[in-house]
Structure formats: C-alpha cells, structure tokens
Structure 1
Amino acid sequence: MDESKAPRPRRGRYRDPQAHAAVLRAARELVAELGYHKVTMERIAARAGVAKMTLYRWWPNKAAVITEAVTDQLAPGPQPDTGSVREDAGAHVTDLVRTLTLLGDPSVVAGALVERGEAGRAELRDLLVAWREPGAALLRRGIARGELPAALDIGAVIDSWLGYALYRVVFLESAPTEADLAGLVDALPYTRRKA
C-alpha cells in the first residue's frame, strides 16, 4: 500500500490546558458578575483571551461551558454530624437548595443542564443521585440514635427532599424559604425530639 495515501490519524479536540482553565475561570467570573442569562460565548471568549471558535470546538453552547465551570461546586460537601438528625437534615436540604440555585436565578443550574438535552438531563440526574447517599447516611445515624423509627423508608424520604427541591427551584422558579425547609425537616417521623 502506498503510504502517502494511507489515512492520517484524526486529531481530537485538543484542549490547551491553560486556555481551558482560562475559559472555565472566565465563565465562573462572568456568571458571578452578570448572572447566567447575560453571559454569552462572546463574553467568555473575550474574558479568557481565546477565539470564540475555540469555545465552539470544545463546547456546543454556553450552558455546557458554564456547567463544566461549576461542576465541582455542585457535589455535596462534607456532611456535618451534629448529633441531631433534625439539624443535620436541615443543613442537608439547605445545601441542596443552595446548590440548585448556585448561579443566582433559581432555575439556572437545572435549566442549564436541561438546556443541554439528554447529556444535560443525565448530568442533572447524576447531580441529584450524588445527594442521595449523604442524606441517607444522616437518616441512618438518626435511626441508630433512636431519633427516627427503624422502619423509616429512607429512600422515600430522600426522594421527597430531592423532588421537593427540584420542583420548587425548576418548575416554580422559586427557591424554598428557610421556613419551607424547616417544615420539610419537621415532617420526619421523630420518635424523640432532640433539644
């Protein structure tokens, strides 16, 4: 076979690590300064010092850039163990709502993910799944301490928290208040109340 006619290996979408980091940093800064809806691919490119076409080679749209830029802020952080399931649950649902409203407008995080189609919906699903185990762990601790009944359906409680937060933030576009979240936590079937 004539080597001059052999197919050349295709180049992937090489991302210069410094330019990639600059784009993500620019996206985070612009969202903080302007809000999600006023950020554009043009503004991100200008702030990062890269060509707009570079962004479009690496990401299909602004939602994808911003989602990647804030991904590390969407996972649950260390969960406190205060010795009170009520306090731990309150902190957990508050942090969940704070995550879903991270970019300001209540619908932005979930909206940015959903705007990206199936890939974004899968990322939103993964985001919510990541919050399941920390919530389940705090409920198991509450059961072990005798604050909650042993027969508690942990999965149903966690799903109700996730569903409530998502419904309020995405569909009603209104973040729950502290009182709303306290009511959600107070709905747990406590066997004994911690002071």
Structure 2
Amino acid sequence: MVDDEVVRGRGRPRDERLGEKILDATRALIDEVGYHQTTMDAIAAHAGVGKASLYRRWPTKAAVITDAVAADLAAPPAPDTGSVGGDALGYLRDLRHALTLLGGPSVVAGALAERGEAGQLELREILRAWNEPAAEVLRRGISRSELPADLPIDVIVDSWTGYLIYQIVLVRVVPSDDDLRRLVGLLPAG
C-alpha cells in the first residue's frame, strides 16, 4: 500500500528555473564572445552550474544555442504602417534581425549547421512561421490597391526570405536598410 506521499525518482527534484538560467547565460556568452568561442564548459561556468546539469538538458552546444535563440526567432505580427512599402521594410528589418541575432550571422548559421539535418528542418519550420506575416503585408497591399491583384504572393515571400538567407547565412553579409529598400522597390505598382 502506498502512502499519500508523492512518489518520485531518486535524487533531487529538477529545478526548472535552472534551464532558464542556462539559456540566459548562453545568450550572454554568445553576445560577449560569439558562437564559435561559446563552449559547453563556458556555458556551465557562466551559468554557475555543473556540466552534468547542462548535458542532462542539452546534448550539444548547438542544441542549447538553438533553444537560447528560439524565442527571438519567432515571427512577430505583420507590421502595419499604412503603406505596403513601410510594412514590407518593417517585415524585412524584423527578419534580418532574427537571422543576425546575438553576435552576427554565424550564430544562427553555426547552430543550425552543427545540428545537420535536424538544424535544416528547424530552420525550415522557423522560416515557415515567418511566411504568414509577409503574406499578410502583401495581401493588405493588394486590398489597398498598392499592388496588382494577381501578385504571386508565395513567390515574393520566398524571394525575400531567400535573399536574406543567402546574404546573411551563406555570404555572411548583413543587408543594409538601403539594400532592403531596394528589395521593397522591386514590388510592382498596383
């Protein structure tokens, strides 16, 4: 017969706050020394935890870094400035920021590359979430007659994402606001 006491595993109960402490330390380290100089040892030391606590939660540096920046990679709502040009520029700035988090282009690219196929799937899922705000910007432009009714929304959204991924992740150059304005300028008039 079991008492009314809660039966739990051996050892101390897991401190859920510790995970957030580790993620905060990871973000701080990436900001200070960059992706490549951030190590599991450094994360553990910066968080003030043992390496075992870190490895129980994340098996690799790429895994903990991906989790540390995941919230910052979430797509925000579509900007609404009153014009398709302003909305598109705001969206592209937001996406540029997300792809250059915490120390530049190498952070997201490095974490996802080290995770191999799993990292590529994560990047696809992250970017898929960003498609809807971009599509909303374009649909709003169509409804305000700023863009043609037959605009290929999916093609435009993919071209914006492709341009930023190519520049930031592959070429490792962060497009300037002027570059983003030129990209928005390619939209056809309604």
Report the 3-state secondary structure (helix = DSSP H, G, I; strand = E; otherwise coil) of the residue aligned with 1:107: helix
Identity of aligned residues (%): 56
Q: Which residue in 1 is equivalent to 2:169?
A: 170
Report the 3-state secondary structure (helix = DSSP H, G, I; strand = E; otherwise coil) of the residue aligned with 2:124: helix
**Superposition deviation, residue 53 in structure 1:** 2.4
Where in structure 2 are there 5+ consecutive unaligned residues? 1-8
Where in structure 1 are there 5+ consecutive unaligned residues? 1-9
Query: Structure 2 CA distance, aligned partners of 1:95 and 1:29?
Result: 21
Query: Structure 2 CA distance, aligned partners of 1:15 and 1:152?
Result: 53
Does 1:93 pair with 2:102? no
List aligned pairs for 1:42-191, cutoff 5 A: 42-191=41-190
Query: Structure 1 CA distance, aligned partners of 2:167 and 2:105?
Result: 9
Q: Is the 8 A contact 1:15 1:58 kept in 2?
A: no
**Superposition deviation, residue 153 in structure 1:** 0.3
**Superposition deviation, residue 114 in structure 1:** 2.3
**Superposition deviation, residue 48 in structure 1:** 1.5
Query: Structure 2 CA distance, aligned partners of 1:75 and 1:132?
Result: 11
The worse-fitting range, judged by mean Cα deviation, of 48-57 and 80-89 is 48-57
Q: Which residue in 2 is equivalent to 1:25?
A: 24
Supply the RMSD in Å over aligned alpha carbons: 1.8
Question: TM-score normalized by structure 2?
Answer: 0.89
Q: Is the 8 A contact 2:113 2:120 kept in 1?
A: yes
Residue type matched to 1:142 in 2? Answer: G
Alpha-carbon deviations, 1:121-168, whole Å to 9, x = none?
Answer: 111111110110000001000000000000000000000000000000
Alpha-carbon deviations, 1:154-188, whole Å to 9, x = none?
Answer: 00000000000000011111111111111110000
**Number of aligned residue pairs:** 181
Report the 3-state secondary structure (helix = DSSP H, G, I; strand = E; otherwise coil) of the residue aligned with 1:89: helix
Query: Structure 1 CA distance, aligned partners of 2:14 and 2:124?
Result: 27
Residue type matched to 1:60 in 2? Answer: P
Question: TM-score normalized by structure 1?
Answer: 0.87
Runs of 4+ in 1 over 2 A off after TM superposition: none
Query: Structure 2 CA distance, aligned partners of 1:17 and 1:152?
Result: 48
